[in-house]
Amino acid sequence: MNFTGKTVVVTGSASGIGQATAEAFAAHGAQVILADLALDKAREVAAGIVARGGKAVAIHLDVANDASIAQFAADAARQVGEVHILANVAGWGKVQPFVDNDADFWERVVDINFLGPVKLIRALLPGMMERKTGRIVNVSSDAGRVGSLGETVYSGAKSGIIGFSKGLAREMARYGISVNCVCPGPTDTPLFAKVPEKHQEAFIRAIPMRRLAKPSEIAHAVMFFASEDAGYVTGQVLSVSGGLTMVG
């Protein structure tokens, strides 16, 4: 895959799947905009990409804040220019029984995992529509396909992104813009490391391949949907879970 001449926005790129995705795109020739709330860490990742001969810049983004999304879109346009590919990777959640959730928790989960990506897409979409080309890849979760114990509202938010992506794919096809979803299973990330150890062990036992995904393995799926190889693919959902969820 060759992304030379393409500018890619990757949210949540200061660590985990987002970092792996940003690094993978840069290694394949893209100019990468690392968008993250943890700006200092995102700058470190960007500096590493540049040191390896890639092109990268870090810009602050809080996907749960409308003003931050608007400012990010303006900063990206001013510093880099046109955005050709958007990878919505940022996400957040924690394992907790639904009856122990409070309203603030629900709102944060929905804002970060559903409304944030929706609003960022809305901010960057006009340019893609004007150019009649673009790639949007939303990282959902297998929790959004089959549900996940202790992640009920998270599962709902991630399921919402799947449905949203399919609807948007239908609307944007006439503009040459594809919209697809990657659904990771349990992945070796800082967020997963916060899951109680007994739950981590249960997840791994349930995976036919008996291991967690590497962040780079999720990144490769994101790149496929963003590539010319997937030029005739839109509205699709790809599970990358080691066989954990084998459903249609």
Query: pLDDT digit of tens for each residue in the chain (248 aa)?
Result: 899 999 999 999 999 999 999 999 999 999 999 999 999 999 999 999 999 999 999 999 999 999 999 999 999 999 999 999 999 999 999 889 999 999 999 999 999 999 999 999 999 999 999 999 999 999 999 999 998 888 999 999 999 999 999 999 999 999 999 999 999 988 888 777 777 777 778 878 888 888 888 999 999 999 999 999 999 999 999 999 888 887 65
Active site residues: 154
Contacts of 112 (CB under 8 A, 6+ apart): 63, 64, 90, 91, 92
H or E element at residue 76 = helix 66-79
**How far is Cα 159 from Cα 144, in angstroms, rounded to an integer?**
4
- The pLDDT, as a whole number, for residue 48 is 98
Extents of the domains making up the chain: 7-240
Q: Which amino acid is at 101?
A: N
- How is residue 226 written in tokens? 């963003």
Phi and psi at residue 135, to the nearest 5°? -135, 130
In the sheet with 55-60, reading across from the earlier edge strand, the strands are 55-60, 31-36, 7-11, 85-88, 134-139, 177-184, 237-240
Q: Any idea which residue has 């940003």 for tokens?
A: 22
- The pLDDT, as a whole number, for residue 243 is 85
Helix crossing, 152-172 with 116-131: angle to 10°?
10
Q: Any idea which residue has 């810009």 for tokens?
A: 59
**How far is Cα 7 from Cα 104, in angstroms, rounded to an integer?**
35
- The pLDDT, as a whole number, for residue 205 is 85
Residue 133 half-sphere exposure, CB side, CA atoms within 13 Å?
10
pTM: 0.93
| Pick among 3.20.20.70, 3.30.420.10, 3.40.50.720, 1.25.40.340: CATH of 7-240 | 3.40.50.720
User: What DSSP letter does each residue of 3-21 carry, written as one string?
Assistant: -TT-EEEEETTTSHHHHHH
Tell me if 9 sits within 8 A of 87, measured CB to CB: yes
CA distances from 232 to 164, 225, 235, 239 (A): 19, 10, 10, 19
